[in-house]
Structure 1
Amino acid sequence: MKLYISKTILGVFLLCSSFIFAQQLSQNQFKVKGNCNLCKERIETAAKKAGAKTAKYSVDSQILTVETEPDVSADNILKEVAKAGHDNEKFQADEATYQSLPACCHYERDSTLTAKEHPVRSKAENEFYVKGNCESCKARIEKAAKDAGADSAEWSAEKQSVTLNFNAQKTSADKILRKIAEVGHDNEKYKAEDQTYKNLPSCCLYDRETQFGEANPKVHIEEAKESGHDHAASNNHQEKSIEGVTVTASKASTSLNKKEAGLIFNIDKKELLKAACCNLSESFETNATVDVSFSNAVTGTKQLKMLGLDQKYTSLTKELLPEIRGLASAYGLNFIPGRWIESIQLTKGGSTVTNGYESITGQINTELLKHSEKPETSLNLFADFNGRTEANITSVSNIDDKWSQTFLLHGNGTFGDTDMNDDSFLDRPKGTQLNAAYLLNYNDLEKSGFGSHFGINFIKDERTAGQIGFDKKIPQALQSLYGVGIDISRFQVWNKTGYVFKGKPYQSLGWMNQYTFHQQDSFFGLRNYSGKQHTYYSNLIFESILGNTNHKYKAGASFMYDGYDENYLAGNFKRNEIVPGAFAEYTLTGLKYTLVAGARVDFHNLAGTQFTPRLNFKYDLTPQTILRLSAGRGFRTANIFAESQQYFASNRTAQILENGGNIYGLKPEIAWNYGASLQQEFKIFGRKSSIVADFFRTDFRDQVMVDLDRSPQLLTFYNLEGKSFANSFQTQWDLIPFKNFELRFAYKYYDVQADYLSGRRAVPFMAKHRGFVNAAYSTNKNDKGGFWSFDTTLNIVGKQRLPDTSSNPLEFQLPAYSPSYAVLNAQISRNFNQKIRAYLGGENLTSYSQSNAIVDFKNPFGNYFDGGMVYAPIMKANFYVGLDLTF
């Protein structure tokens, strides 16, 4: 009994001792930049070296969790982590240390965590960081140090640091660094006056976009109020208030993701402010990757083209959910207002299999406004000089620490009769659109592991086109003027819910669901077209690792239902597409490479079982030289009427040459896409520059041909018999010749051919050669945060093959090829402060326009009338003004 009591007392004592000891340990979490399993090991080792009892780092959440005794400083731990090469919430790694990390560990530094105090780098005791650029800088810095009492000073351009020897009784490092700042050189404690910096010789104008922090924030409060030094040419900057100090970090408005195996471009909302960007179709005017066709002469529609192929071969998603497809193909780009967009992710070539099977040339995903550090409401007003007006209201706010909401409202109207080529037809439709959306977000990933996003969207769009004076209220048969009427109603509701497993930040489960209803009622002269579409989409994705984060995998299942009911002339076309599917994807990350291999199988009730493999590979030849390879298969079902509405305003008779398929009597479209790209980063003029060259080839195994060549009076659809391919080559050079000035050059070559019934021909309306130049300049910000921005874009379009019209009478024939032309757009904007922005712009300032946009426009009900032969702008120079207000 005594022995039992003794053991019990001893056990209680040990338990209490361990409890008391445990209470003495404190647990903290810190944001730390990392990229792979090697980073994880390095960060945890550094933390333990600095005194942490335990250290666990999550690559996915970028969180380091440590347990420490009371006498261990968290600052010392984070300093040690920074010395090991990893930026964190208080300290930044030395650039040389970062560059020496293995390629797989090179995390993105363009959005580096902002330091609460000076980012400490590994250095000698008397070594201090000082910005400079050349030998003149070296002489100036060393002289200033000696003038301030240093016995000797040695500045290194490579290390961006000065090593000092001085007598502490006569002077101090603080005094020396202050003197160096006075002569124009930013350093780890003081920032040079803007005017002093500007007065330096041009060779000495170092890059101020990556500022050192400050060891003592109080020293630098006044200087920090002036933020023009960090203002990049794109005006895309992020500001954070830290203990009374404003620190600004620049971020490229368009960037190529170096971490991803695929060729993925991230387009920030700041890029969209460079042009009018009233909707998604205008969001790529300053981007060379996507080609935007010009408005149809009668319906006013625009289409995107990628890798030399039509928009229908690119997967267009919103919030990673299917968006512009089916009946929305012709006008869907108009349904996403530019001011609603938070960012765009553009993938060239085959995208991930987790997002579906329809992507052939790439994917364009649009993310709506959802994030804001503080409640923000914005009003945008826009008007051009030809009767187009629009207004946007966006509001993002937090309900509590877990819930946030976004209200989005858009309205536009085109009221003027614009006819610049005097053919009696409107150059663009008149009409109105009302577009409203509400987003609700829940985020509790850190505690419960749950996050959810809900959205609802309603659109009502009405437009009238055709001859001036046409009255939409009067039936077409009762009036002599030719008219087009298009009324669209669209409703969407969606939800995305995710769960991150507790203690396993690399393991998650996500479920996406969306319902879409789309209805269109329209007429084109005496031709009627109407349709209804019901779509339900569901996608379940599980993500985890195999052993460690160098081996990741995703697996899941999807379901797609499309119900179509179309009427064209006297024909009714109904079908239901039911597609359950399953997929898996594996990602292997090595020291210098990343491999993403995936496949999916889909069981289409009308197109049969479809197998879709895709592969993306990235290899870092050096940290600045990246090679990418890709290959993949995609398939889709063609919606021949909805996707060809630009040809309905004509005399052409639709003709389907059936071959036994289950969709309009046609088989589905199947294609393989192969690509290679090389990305090279380097410095020119002392600033970052990059060149990207890529080549892609698309080979169709099956394709639904849209033949405009059989006869000018026919619109013929049939399945490919033979070959159809598209070769695309693009090279792009981005550079910053001097402070606040960005240049982007691009050249594109397309070879797109297909075997039509009449033989192999180049695909019409596709220029073989295209040139692109974009220039952007901004002034420094003044004391109130105001600045000017100037943006201009030049597109040079080579000749294009036009459909064969040789059987028409001579006066109604088009040439075999269009002439080459150039289009210039420009915009000037003025930010008066962070809340008021005004802008003035011009489109097609070269005033080049297609003279014969409508064939036989004098006789719109005759045999030769055709409004679909558009290869160039219809409208001449057009000017616009706008105002942005933020509350």
Structure 2
Amino acid sequence: MKQTLLLFLCSIVSVYAQENGAVLGHITSEGAPLAYVNVYLENTSIGTTTNEDGQFKIENIPYGTHTIVASFTGFKTKRQTINLNKPSISVLFDLNENESLDEIVVSGTLKPVSRKDSPVPVEVYSPAFLKKNPTPNIFDALQNVNGVRPQLNCNVCNTGDIHINGLEGPYTLVLIDGMPIVSGLSTVYGLSGIPNALIEQIEIIKGPASSLYGSEAVGGLINVITKSAENTSKFSADAFLTSWGELNVDLGYKANIGEKTAMLLGVNYYNYNNPIDNNNDNFTDVTLQNRVSLFQKWNFKRSSNKAFSLAGRAFYEDRWGGEMQWNPSYRGGNEVYGESIYTKRFELLGNYELPVSENIVLQFSYTNHDQNSVYGDVPYLAQQRIGFSQLTWYKTLNTHDLLFGAATKYTYYDDNTPATRQADEVVIPSLFIQDNITINNNNTLLLGSRLDYDSRHGIIFTPRVAYRFKSDSESIFRINAGTGFRVVNLFTEEHAALTGSRDVIIENELKPERSYNINLNYLKTFYTKQHQIITVDASAWYTYFTNVILPDYDTNPNQIIYDNLDGYAVTTGVSANIDMMFTNGLKVMLGATYQDVSKTEAGITQDQILTENFSGTWSISYTFYNPKIAIDYTGNIYGPMRLPLLGDLDPREPYSPVWSIQNIQATYAFSNFELYGGIKNLLNWTPNKGNPFIIARANDPFDKDVEFDNDGNVIATPDNPYALTFDPSYVYAPNQGRRIFLGLRYRLN
């Protein structure tokens, strides 16, 4: 009996052993062994890493067909399908280095080209970059992009804009899939509510791009490109919660409807409903928000294989900030101060390639933005509608890659303020042409020009020229020069006019701003013998502005005065990005910018307000491959910037200190899940440190106890020794301290 039982157990062990085997392998690159390569069975947690000789062994693999994946930072991922039907088999991988300049970009020339072939320098940021520091919106995600700074413009409602190379937000054009649906009133809101899971990449151009995109692209542009419905996961989910009570949820779903239609649905929900006052001024440190956004994109397959897609987004947000005891019953009254903003907007955009033999594409977009706001007892009711259509014709003749375009932009804006006596409605038609000339394999010249007609200002001409020289496959030198212009929509650009007691003064009829720019760029990629990759991307720029319109906070502390500058403004600087990828799983991204942004009037030169003279960003990531855990340490640092004071007696610091926001995160990947968590604002830095207060007269937000003289100037009294009025515009950084976050991602391919 014992012998029978022993034979039975041995047979079970034998059968079990025969049903499992091992994979032995060797991984190289150009014949040299690669150490620390991540090797695993696709869609499982079974895997290992290569040793110093590039060898690996995965055991206890069930018999059958499997896909072996070899993945390594800096190299293109490879897959190999095997049929394991014996105790062990051997495989060989030879990985190719991942060309960091192979990304396809469209923002520089309006045509898909390899990043290294674009005569205009374009920076590209992938979803992997966004994951290093998860945020509830793109606005916050840009804080770790070198030379780009999300600027808060109000301590109470936390609205803001995007600064590029020190220029104010109105100089930055924000696009979604190449369409200018985010501008003016809707900038900060348009950058919220786009699910990060649906973003293919973010392209950033620093410097004027008005010859292709018209007004608002004076300082640069940000193009948020969403994924195609055909090339994304079937389902994705990403949710995180912070110790402050913030909840953010992103959902993505793809469905094929018939054989020729693919639909992509995205949902973003954000909620923060936990008033916190850590600086004890009786005002919320962070605006409370309840936001939902629905995004849908349709891709249609046509028999001609020409492109056709439609996308739309609906957005609703209820945000408020103010005194801690505020609730909606106080909305619009003068008992308890609050800033309450109800925002409704929808967007539609499309891309249609005409059914003709030539490459002619029609693009169009429309956005409707409705805002119902109150700032204390001041109502602000505004509507903005933007319609845009563009027809482009791409034609190649010998060495000339030609682009002809015609565009029309319709803008409608109206509000209930004295600054807008009647609705602003204008149609601006445009014509543009571009010739990208291939001189030889190493030299490319781009010539472009644009004509815009504005009934208020006449014809506006904006030319540009770009030259690219490639000394070898990894060294690229670019020079860009051109002009830019900006037609001003005044009131939407200065939120401080609403949130305090300053009056808006318009001295004269405002003329369009003009800029003249030159930009030098050098990009070099180094490949070491140890298979390390180092990329250096350095730029220097100079921009000269005429007719510049800047808010004057200094002449009269109780006013914001607007006029065309009787002089000029200049921004000049240098920046550099260094990306390093090491074979041991370490990746380092460093960025630094030094800039001088000033205005000169009546022979007096002064630093531009709310502009830092230096900044830096970094991202340090390390991946452990077994188990697969990634550590990300990200941060930024900013130099001093001049701040808006209310007068000579104002005790707040006239310049901000050097400040830094730093974050750390750990991510554990298993199966189709990613569990992540960490700490934001490790240093617990907030702008109230070193200042007696941030919000002026927070104890008297309706200025009930402020005394004025006959000229309207504030009188210093025992209750108001600094002669101040209520003003929350002294803001340059987030007022949110340290917090812990925890999140989970899921992806079904």
Q: Look up the SS of the partner of 1:329 in the other structure.
A: helix
CA displacement at 1:760 relative to structure 2: 2.5
More strand by share: 2
What is the match of residue 259 of structure 1? 117
Aligned counterparts of 1:819 and 1:384: Cα–Cα separation in 2 = 27
What is the match of residue 704 of structure 1? 549
- Check whether the contact 1:630–1:676 (CA below 8 A) recurs between aligned residues: yes
Give yes or no for the alignment of 1:797 onto 2:635.
no
Aligned counterparts of 2:245 and 2:601: Cα–Cα separation in 1 = 42
Match of 1:872 among 733, 737, 742: 733
CA displacement at 1:483 relative to structure 2: 0.8
- Check whether the contact 2:68–2:82 (CA below 8 A) recurs between aligned residues: no
CA displacement at 1:374 relative to structure 2: 6.8
Q: Look up the SS of the partner of 1:461 in the other structure.
A: strand
Note the aligned Cα RMSD (angstroms). 3.2
What is the match of residue 313 of structure 2? 457
Identify if the C-alpha distance between structure 1 residues 373 and 798 changes in structure 2 by more than 3 Å, giving closer, same or farther: closer
CA displacement at 1:601 relative to structure 2: 0.5
Worse-matched range after superposition: 794-803 or 396-405: 396-405
User: Which residue identity does 2:547 align to in structure 1?
Assistant: D
Aligned counterparts of 1:378 and 1:365: Cα–Cα separation in 2 = 23
1:605-616 to 2 correspondence within 5 Å?
605-616=455-466
Worse-matched range after superposition: 423-432 or 293-302: 293-302
Aligned counterparts of 1:774 and 1:393: Cα–Cα separation in 2 = 26
What is the match of residue 750 of structure 1? 595
User: Which residue identity does 2:31 align to in structure 1?
Assistant: Q
What is the match of residue 822 of structure 1? 660
What is the match of residue 666 of structure 1? 510
Q: Look up the SS of the partner of 2:403 in the other structure.
A: strand
1:478-489 to 2 correspondence within 5 Å?
479-489=334-344
CA displacement at 1:649 relative to structure 2: 1.9
- Check whether the contact 2:210–2:462 (CA below 8 A) recurs between aligned residues: no
1:827-846 to 2 correspondence within 5 Å?
827-833=665-671, 835-846=672-683
What is the match of residue 561 of structure 1? 410
Aligned counterparts of 1:841 and 1:252: Cα–Cα separation in 2 = 31
CA displacement at 1:488 relative to structure 2: 1.1
What is the match of residue 31 of structure 2? 160
Deviations 1:549-595 (A, max 9, x none): x3110102111111111222696342111111111110112210122
CA displacement at 1:500 relative to structure 2: 7.2
Worse-matched range after superposition: 585-594 or 851-860: 851-860
User: Which residue identity does 1:576 align to in structure 2?
Assistant: E
CA displacement at 1:754 relative to structure 2: 0.9
1:245-394 to 2 correspondence within 5 Å?
257-294=115-152, 296-351=154-209, 353-373=211-231, 376-394=234-252
CA displacement at 1:470 relative to structure 2: 0.8
- Check whether the contact 2:73–2:585 (CA below 8 A) recurs between aligned residues: yes
Identify if the C-alpha distance between structure 1 residues 259 and 707 changes in structure 2 by more than 3 Å, giving closer, same or farther: same
- Check whether the contact 2:522–2:537 (CA below 8 A) recurs between aligned residues: yes
Identify if the C-alpha distance between structure 1 residues 231 and 500 changes in structure 2 by more than 3 Å, giving closer, same or farther: farther
- Check whether the contact 1:700–1:724 (CA below 8 A) recurs between aligned residues: yes
Give yes or no for the alignment of 1:575 onto 2:424.
yes
Aligned counterparts of 1:818 and 1:205: Cα–Cα separation in 2 = 52
Q: Look up the SS of the partner of 2:192 in the other structure.
A: helix
- Check whether the contact 1:598–1:613 (CA below 8 A) recurs between aligned residues: yes
More helix by share: 1
Match of 2:566 among 710, 713, 721: 721
Q: Look up the SS of the partner of 1:327 in the other structure.
A: helix
What is the match of residue 107 of structure 2? none
What is the match of residue 77 of structure 1? none
Identify if the C-alpha distance between structure 1 residues 396 and 242 changes in structure 2 by more than 3 Å, giving closer, same or farther: farther
Give yes or no for the alignment of 1:648 onto 2:495.
no
Aligned counterparts of 1:308 and 1:559: Cα–Cα separation in 2 = 30
Give yes or no for the alignment of 1:776 onto 2:610.
no
1:676-715 to 2 correspondence within 5 Å?
676-684=520-528, 685-715=530-560
Deviations 1:732-781 (A, max 9, x none): 21112442110112221010001358942101121112122210111226
- Check whether the contact 1:232–1:740 (CA below 8 A) recurs between aligned residues: yes
- Check whether the contact 1:729–1:748 (CA below 8 A) recurs between aligned residues: yes
- Check whether the contact 2:503–2:558 (CA below 8 A) recurs between aligned residues: yes
1:139-218 to 2 correspondence within 5 Å?
160=31, 197-198=50-51, 200=52
Aligned counterparts of 1:690 and 1:375: Cα–Cα separation in 2 = 30
Identify if the C-alpha distance between structure 1 residues 744 and 580 changes in structure 2 by more than 3 Å, giving closer, same or farther: same
- Number of residue equivalences: 668
Aligned counterparts of 2:101 and 2:290: Cα–Cα separation in 1 = 32
What is the match of residue 479 of structure 2? 629
What is the match of residue 605 of structure 2? 760
1:394-413 to 2 correspondence within 5 Å?
394-413=252-271
Give yes or no for the alignment of 1:131 onto 2:2.
no
What is the match of residue 527 of structure 1? 378
Aligned counterparts of 1:184 and 1:224: Cα–Cα separation in 2 = 22
- Check whether the contact 1:423–1:857 (CA below 8 A) recurs between aligned residues: yes
Deviations 1:247-304 (A, max 9, x none): 9988689987211111112211122111113211122244324222357311112422
Aligned counterparts of 2:204 and 2:327: Cα–Cα separation in 1 = 41
What is the match of residue 122 of structure 1? none
Match of 2:575 among 717, 730, 736: 730
- Check whether the contact 1:308–1:727 (CA below 8 A) recurs between aligned residues: no
Aligned counterparts of 1:470 and 1:394: Cα–Cα separation in 2 = 36
Q: Look up the SS of the partner of 2:170 in the other structure.
A: helix
Q: Look up the SS of the partner of 1:676 in the other structure.
A: strand
Aligned counterparts of 1:340 and 1:320: Cα–Cα separation in 2 = 15
Question: Higher relative contact order by CA 8 Å / sep ≥ 6: 1 or 2?
Answer: 2
CA displacement at 1:461 relative to structure 2: 1.2
CA displacement at 1:330 relative to structure 2: 4.2
Q: Look up the SS of the partner of 1:711 in the other structure.
A: coil
Identify if the C-alpha distance between structure 1 residues 222 and 541 changes in structure 2 by more than 3 Å, giving closer, same or farther: same
- Check whether the contact 1:628–1:677 (CA below 8 A) recurs between aligned residues: yes
Identify if the C-alpha distance between structure 1 residues 883 and 718 changes in structure 2 by more than 3 Å, giving closer, same or farther: same
Match of 1:884 among 701, 721, 745: 745
Q: Look up the SS of the partner of 2:341 in the other structure.
A: strand
Aligned counterparts of 2:102 and 2:651: Cα–Cα separation in 1 = 45
- How many percent of aligned residue pairs carry the same amino acid? 22
User: Which residue identity does 1:269 align to in structure 2?
Assistant: P
With normalisation by structure 2, the TM-score equals 0.83
CA displacement at 1:322 relative to structure 2: 0.5
What is the match of residue 353 of structure 2? 498
User: Which residue identity does 1:325 align to in structure 2?
Assistant: S
User: Which residue identity does 2:739 align to in structure 1?
Assistant: N
Aligned counterparts of 2:497 and 2:584: Cα–Cα separation in 1 = 48
Identify if the C-alpha distance between structure 1 residues 555 and 357 changes in structure 2 by more than 3 Å, giving closer, same or farther: farther
Match of 2:507 among 645, 657, 664: 657
- Check whether the contact 1:295–1:873 (CA below 8 A) recurs between aligned residues: no
Identify if the C-alpha distance between structure 1 residues 871 and 475 changes in structure 2 by more than 3 Å, giving closer, same or farther: closer
Give yes or no for the alignment of 1:855 onto 2:706.
no
Q: Look up the SS of the partner of 2:676 in the other structure.
A: strand
Q: Which runs of 5+ in 1 are unaligned?
A: 1-128, 133-158, 162-179, 187-192, 209-220, 659-664
User: Which residue identity does 2:581 align to in structure 1?
Assistant: I
What is the match of residue 598 of structure 1? 448
Identify if the C-alpha distance between structure 1 residues 280 and 356 changes in structure 2 by more than 3 Å, giving closer, same or farther: same
Aligned counterparts of 1:511 and 1:438: Cα–Cα separation in 2 = 20
Identify if the C-alpha distance between structure 1 residues 238 and 538 changes in structure 2 by more than 3 Å, giving closer, same or farther: farther
Identify if the C-alpha distance between structure 1 residues 373 and 623 changes in structure 2 by more than 3 Å, giving closer, same or farther: closer
